[in-house]
Amino acid sequence: MPSRLCILCLCLTSFQLQAQNHIETLLQHYPQAHQTLFRNLKAKQPIPSYDFDANREPEHALKEGMGGQCNTHARVAALALMKNGVRAEDLRIVSAVNNSALDKLCENRKGLSANHTKDGLSGHVFLLLKSNNQWQLINTTTVPGTPPAKPFAPQELEMTSFHSPEKLEAMMQRGPVQIPEAVTQSLPKNIFGKMTIFHSVRPDQYPSHDFSKRKNLIASGSLNSDICRYGQAIAPERESLLHE
């Protein structure tokens, strides 16, 4: 009869393998889902509007086969994972905006300061995935085998260890939280710079919203708010992050 220690070791080993398979599950199932997502996308077709992208459920996007922006990439990746055994609580959709846009958006530091900026509030959406009891931030536009990224080896997946959702939310309450450069290497430098996270949510709780409400999300972290997230009370050392 195996000892209690052996049983414990077997249980831990089984848990670790299950957790490690989350990344493997992504690499196994997301490229196929992504090909389905873009099956009806025609050459030189205009990039869908933000409203078109953000208001569709990932199931709808897959059924249409019309692709979408990074928002759709991340949500379809999350859907592929959930359909293959990954719990929604082990996933987050993480949205970020260029620091330059955030600075312009909140420059008044009061009231609803979410005015349209010249760069269109450019940013990117990432997937946060719990694997092997650690959280990994992943750029789902560069998963091997998925257009428009060039196919490359799985070990070159743009991914980095990151904060848990709870810690991330606490940090965001205190000041700007930056996206690590390790997951932005493939993004065009003429469009994307250093980025600040403005929203993190479970994929099954993702709020339907348009571009106007997105501006409120960026400015305040809420769809309906008259307070800028980084307002007058922000510490000088944190405010400097907005200008990096």
What is the DSSP annotation of 143-170? Answer: STT-TTSPP--GGG--EEEE--HHHHHH
What is the structure's pLDDT at 137?
Answer: 98
What is the structure's pLDDT at 228?
Answer: 75
In angstroms, the CA 67 to CA 35 distance is 9
What is the structure's pLDDT at 149?
Answer: 56
What is the structure's pLDDT at 77?
Answer: 95
What is the chain's pLDDT, residue by residue, as a tens digit (244 residues)? 445 444 433 443 444 444 457 998 998 899 889 889 888 877 666 667 888 888 889 999 999 988 888 999 999 999 999 999 999 999 999 999 988 877 667 665 443 434 444 456 889 999 999 998 999 999 999 887 666 555 545 566 899 999 999 999 999 988 889 999 999 998 988 889 999 999 999 999 999 888 878 888 888 888 887 777 765 333 334 444 444 4
- 17 Cβ neighbours under 8 A, 6+ residues apart: none
In angstroms, the CA 70 to CA 58 distance is 12
Sign of CA dihedral 91, 193, 181, 73: positive
What is the structure's pLDDT at 236?
Answer: 39
Q: Determine the length of the chain.
A: 244
Q: Measure CA of the first residue to CA of the last residue in the chain; give whole Å.
A: 61
* Residue boundaries of the structural domains of the chain: 4-243
Pseudo-torsion of CA 216, 221, 225, 230, nearest 10°?
A: -90
Contact 135, 163 (CB under 8 A): yes
